Structure 1
Amino acid sequence: MAHHSKSPRVPLALPEKPDFLLPVTHGTDSRPLPVFTPVEEVYTIHALCTGRGAMTIQYGPKDSDPSKITCDEPVTIGRVHTAPGEQKHLSVQVDGTDVHWSMAILSGAHAM
Protein backbone atom coordinates (compact mmCIF):
# COMPACT_ATOMS: atom_id res chain seq x y z
CA MET A 1 0.00 0.00 0.00
CA ALA A 2 1.50 3.34 -1.02
CA HIS A 3 1.90 5.83 1.78
CA HIS A 4 2.01 9.34 0.39
CA SER A 5 1.72 11.66 3.35
CA LYS A 6 5.13 12.79 4.57
CA SER A 7 4.12 13.22 8.18
CA PRO A 8 0.55 12.61 9.33
CA ARG A 9 1.39 14.59 12.48
CA VAL A 10 1.58 17.91 10.68
CA PRO A 11 -1.94 18.27 9.22
CA LEU A 12 -3.53 17.14 12.48
CA ALA A 13 -1.30 19.47 14.54
CA LEU A 14 -0.54 16.77 17.10
CA PRO A 15 1.83 17.41 20.00
CA GLU A 16 5.26 15.78 19.84
CA LYS A 17 4.51 12.94 22.23
CA PRO A 18 0.78 12.39 21.99
CA ASP A 19 -0.96 10.20 24.56
CA PHE A 20 -3.40 8.54 22.17
CA LEU A 21 -6.82 7.22 23.15
CA LEU A 22 -7.37 6.68 19.42
CA PRO A 23 -4.30 6.70 17.17
CA VAL A 24 -4.46 8.58 13.88
CA THR A 25 -7.31 7.01 11.90
CA HIS A 26 -8.25 7.71 8.28
CA GLY A 27 -11.36 6.99 6.26
CA THR A 28 -13.60 7.92 3.37
CA ASP A 29 -16.90 6.59 4.72
CA SER A 30 -19.20 6.84 7.72
CA ARG A 31 -18.32 4.39 10.45
CA PRO A 32 -18.10 3.86 14.19
CA LEU A 33 -14.70 4.51 15.74
CA PRO A 34 -13.01 2.00 18.05
CA VAL A 35 -14.34 2.26 21.60
CA PHE A 36 -12.01 4.02 24.04
CA THR A 37 -12.07 4.82 27.74
CA PRO A 38 -10.74 8.22 28.85
CA VAL A 39 -8.63 8.22 32.00
CA GLU A 40 -8.87 11.97 32.57
CA GLU A 41 -11.81 14.38 32.79
CA VAL A 42 -11.08 15.76 29.35
CA TYR A 43 -9.94 14.40 26.02
CA THR A 44 -8.93 16.26 22.88
CA ILE A 45 -10.04 15.47 19.34
CA HIS A 46 -7.95 16.49 16.32
CA ALA A 47 -9.93 16.14 13.09
CA LEU A 48 -9.54 17.13 9.47
CA CYS A 49 -11.21 16.32 6.16
CA THR A 50 -10.68 17.08 2.51
CA GLY A 51 -13.12 16.95 -0.38
CA ARG A 52 -16.49 18.51 -1.10
CA GLY A 53 -18.57 18.18 2.01
CA ALA A 54 -18.23 17.67 5.72
CA MET A 55 -17.68 15.12 8.43
CA THR A 56 -19.70 14.94 11.63
CA ILE A 57 -18.42 13.44 14.86
CA GLN A 58 -21.18 11.88 16.93
CA TYR A 59 -20.48 11.30 20.60
CA GLY A 60 -22.79 8.32 20.99
CA PRO A 61 -25.94 6.79 19.48
CA LYS A 62 -28.26 9.41 20.98
CA ASP A 63 -25.98 12.42 20.55
CA SER A 64 -28.02 15.62 20.22
CA ASP A 65 -25.00 17.90 19.76
CA PRO A 66 -22.61 16.39 17.21
CA SER A 67 -19.60 18.32 15.89
CA LYS A 68 -19.76 19.18 12.19
CA ILE A 69 -16.43 19.81 10.47
CA THR A 70 -16.34 21.42 7.03
CA CYS A 71 -13.79 19.91 4.69
CA ASP A 72 -10.79 21.76 3.29
CA GLU A 73 -10.47 23.93 6.40
CA PRO A 74 -7.56 23.89 8.86
CA VAL A 75 -7.50 21.19 11.50
CA THR A 76 -10.29 21.30 14.09
CA ILE A 77 -9.15 20.72 17.66
CA GLY A 78 -11.80 20.28 20.30
CA ARG A 79 -11.78 19.48 23.98
CA VAL A 80 -14.46 17.20 25.32
CA HIS A 81 -15.24 17.07 29.04
CA THR A 82 -16.25 13.66 30.26
CA ALA A 83 -16.49 11.25 33.17
CA PRO A 84 -13.20 9.31 33.44
CA GLY A 85 -13.52 5.56 33.06
CA GLU A 86 -16.70 5.78 30.96
CA GLN A 87 -16.48 4.00 27.60
CA LYS A 88 -16.91 6.26 24.58
CA HIS A 89 -18.66 5.12 21.41
CA LEU A 90 -17.91 7.82 18.85
CA SER A 91 -18.69 7.62 15.17
CA VAL A 92 -17.94 9.60 12.04
CA GLN A 93 -20.65 10.50 9.52
CA VAL A 94 -19.55 11.61 6.06
CA ASP A 95 -21.67 13.98 3.99
CA GLY A 96 -20.51 14.93 0.51
CA THR A 97 -18.34 13.61 -2.30
CA ASP A 98 -14.71 12.57 -2.33
CA VAL A 99 -14.43 13.15 1.43
CA HIS A 100 -11.24 11.86 3.07
CA TRP A 101 -11.06 12.30 6.84
CA SER A 102 -8.43 11.76 9.47
CA MET A 103 -8.59 12.16 13.20
CA ALA A 104 -6.91 11.27 16.44
CA ILE A 105 -8.09 11.41 20.04
CA LEU A 106 -5.68 12.30 22.82
CA SER A 107 -5.94 11.99 26.56
CA GLY A 108 -6.11 15.24 28.50
CA ALA A 109 -6.16 18.86 27.35
CA HIS A 110 -3.45 20.29 25.13
CA ALA A 111 -2.37 23.77 24.19
CA MET A 112 -4.24 24.81 21.08
Structure 2
Amino acid sequence: MTSYKEITEQIGDQWVAALKRAEENLGSFVAGVQESRSKIDVPTPESITKLTESFQEGLPKPSEVVEANFELTNRLLAAQRDLTLRLLEASSAKGESAPAKPAAKKS
Protein backbone atom coordinates (compact mmCIF):
# COMPACT_ATOMS: atom_id res chain seq x y z
CA MET A 1 0.00 0.00 0.00
CA THR A 2 1.29 3.42 -0.92
CA SER A 3 1.92 5.73 2.01
CA TYR A 4 0.57 9.25 2.29
CA LYS A 5 4.09 10.66 1.97
CA GLU A 6 4.69 8.72 -1.26
CA ILE A 7 1.40 9.95 -2.71
CA THR A 8 2.18 13.57 -1.85
CA GLU A 9 5.68 13.20 -3.35
CA GLN A 10 4.18 11.82 -6.57
CA ILE A 11 1.69 14.69 -6.76
CA GLY A 12 4.47 17.17 -5.98
CA ASP A 13 6.62 15.69 -8.75
CA GLN A 14 3.73 16.11 -11.19
CA TRP A 15 3.24 19.76 -10.16
CA VAL A 16 6.96 20.51 -10.49
CA ALA A 17 7.06 18.86 -13.92
CA ALA A 18 4.03 20.89 -15.02
CA LEU A 19 5.66 24.11 -13.80
CA LYS A 20 8.85 23.29 -15.69
CA ARG A 21 6.87 22.64 -18.87
CA ALA A 22 5.03 25.94 -18.39
CA GLU A 23 8.37 27.71 -17.91
CA GLU A 24 9.70 26.22 -21.15
CA ASN A 25 6.54 27.18 -23.04
CA LEU A 26 6.62 30.68 -21.56
CA GLY A 27 10.21 31.09 -22.75
CA SER A 28 9.18 30.22 -26.29
CA PHE A 29 6.19 32.56 -26.08
CA VAL A 30 8.28 35.48 -24.80
CA ALA A 31 10.85 34.94 -27.53
CA GLY A 32 8.07 35.00 -30.14
CA VAL A 33 6.58 38.18 -28.71
CA GLN A 34 9.97 39.89 -28.63
CA GLU A 35 10.63 38.87 -32.22
CA SER A 36 7.23 40.20 -33.30
CA ARG A 37 7.76 43.47 -31.43
CA SER A 38 11.10 43.97 -33.15
CA LYS A 39 9.35 43.77 -36.54
CA ILE A 40 6.80 46.44 -35.61
CA ASP A 41 8.06 49.96 -35.15
CA VAL A 42 5.70 51.71 -32.78
CA PRO A 43 7.05 55.09 -31.73
CA THR A 44 6.82 55.85 -28.03
CA PRO A 45 6.22 59.48 -27.16
CA GLU A 46 8.96 60.96 -24.98
CA SER A 47 6.41 61.96 -22.34
CA ILE A 48 5.37 58.33 -21.84
CA THR A 49 9.01 57.24 -21.62
CA LYS A 50 9.70 59.88 -18.94
CA LEU A 51 6.57 58.94 -17.02
CA THR A 52 7.51 55.26 -17.07
CA GLU A 53 11.05 55.97 -15.93
CA SER A 54 9.93 58.26 -13.09
CA PHE A 55 7.36 55.69 -11.95
CA GLN A 56 9.98 52.94 -11.84
CA GLU A 57 12.43 54.94 -9.73
CA GLY A 58 12.62 53.58 -6.23
CA LEU A 59 10.68 50.43 -7.00
CA PRO A 60 12.35 47.10 -6.29
CA LYS A 61 13.30 44.84 -9.16
CA PRO A 62 10.68 42.16 -9.87
CA SER A 63 13.23 39.47 -8.99
CA GLU A 64 13.77 41.12 -5.58
CA VAL A 65 10.02 41.02 -4.93
CA VAL A 66 9.84 37.33 -5.85
CA GLU A 67 12.85 36.38 -3.70
CA ALA A 68 11.61 38.37 -0.68
CA ASN A 69 8.10 36.90 -0.93
CA PHE A 70 9.33 33.33 -1.29
CA GLU A 71 11.67 33.78 1.68
CA LEU A 72 8.76 35.08 3.76
CA THR A 73 6.53 32.23 2.61
CA ASN A 74 9.16 29.67 3.59
CA ARG A 75 9.45 31.22 7.06
CA LEU A 76 5.67 31.29 7.48
CA LEU A 77 5.31 27.67 6.38
CA ALA A 78 8.03 26.57 8.81
CA ALA A 79 6.30 28.41 11.65
CA GLN A 80 2.93 26.91 10.67
CA ARG A 81 4.44 23.40 10.55
CA ASP A 82 6.02 23.85 13.99
CA LEU A 83 2.76 25.14 15.49
CA THR A 84 0.75 22.31 13.93
CA LEU A 85 3.15 19.66 15.22
CA ARG A 86 3.00 21.17 18.72
CA LEU A 87 -0.81 21.20 18.60
CA LEU A 88 -0.87 17.59 17.47
CA GLU A 89 1.48 16.62 20.28
CA ALA A 90 -0.55 18.55 22.86
CA SER A 91 -3.86 17.11 21.68
CA SER A 92 -2.71 13.52 21.43
CA ALA A 93 -5.18 11.53 23.50
CA LYS A 94 -2.92 8.49 23.87
CA GLY A 95 0.17 10.47 24.74
CA GLU A 96 1.76 9.58 21.42
CA SER A 97 4.22 12.21 20.41
CA ALA A 98 4.30 13.91 17.05
CA PRO A 99 7.28 13.42 14.78
CA ALA A 100 10.45 15.16 15.91
CA LYS A 101 10.58 18.84 15.07
CA PRO A 102 13.02 19.49 12.20
CA ALA A 103 15.88 21.85 12.92
CA ALA A 104 15.07 25.45 12.08
CA LYS A 105 16.84 26.77 9.02
CA LYS A 106 18.76 29.93 9.80
CA SER A 107 19.18 32.50 7.08
Fold in common (TM above 0.5): no
Which category describes the TM-score, using the shorter chain as reference length? under 0.3
Taking structure 2 as the reference length, the TM-score comes to 0.18
Query: Which has the larger share of helix?
Result: 2
Larger Rg: 2
TM-score scaled to structure 1, two decimals? Answer: 0.18
